[in-house]
Structure 1
Amino acid sequence: MLIFRDGQTVGTIGGGCAEAEVKRAALAVFSKGLPVTYTVDLTNAIAADEGMVCGGIMKVFLARVN
């Protein structure tokens, strides 16, 4: 998934709330410039309430590409 500075995206990592969290974290990478590994926990009751049916832990590496 590519996330541009203006918030546009190309591709997906699954959609929903998890993707929105990752997008927010990626936008912060633009200002800080440092790569991070962002973890999304899909194992709890909140994830189930939001319709995240796959469960598990998703780790996403975020880095700015010039």
Structure 2
Amino acid sequence: MAGFDSAAGPAGVVTGLIEKAAAELDVMSDAAGELAPEVGDLSAVLVEAQRIADRAALDLRRLVKKLPRATA
């Protein structure tokens, strides 16, 4: 099992990973929105992928709120 190296401890590592994943999903969603008009028949699939990414990012951010806050 991999160790962690964070002053915030395990909760900080988990929070950081989830927040990074949500941010990357935001990037994917933005890119999909920009590309959708240019992909012709595939635009419906790309828009659905954008919706999934948006939902997943929102769910991840809700999950972070459930994590206990690390004490300083």
Tell me the TM-score range normalised by the shorter chain: 0.3 to 0.5
Structure with more helix by fraction:
2
Q: Structure 1-normalised TM-score?
A: 0.34
Structure with more strand by fraction:
1
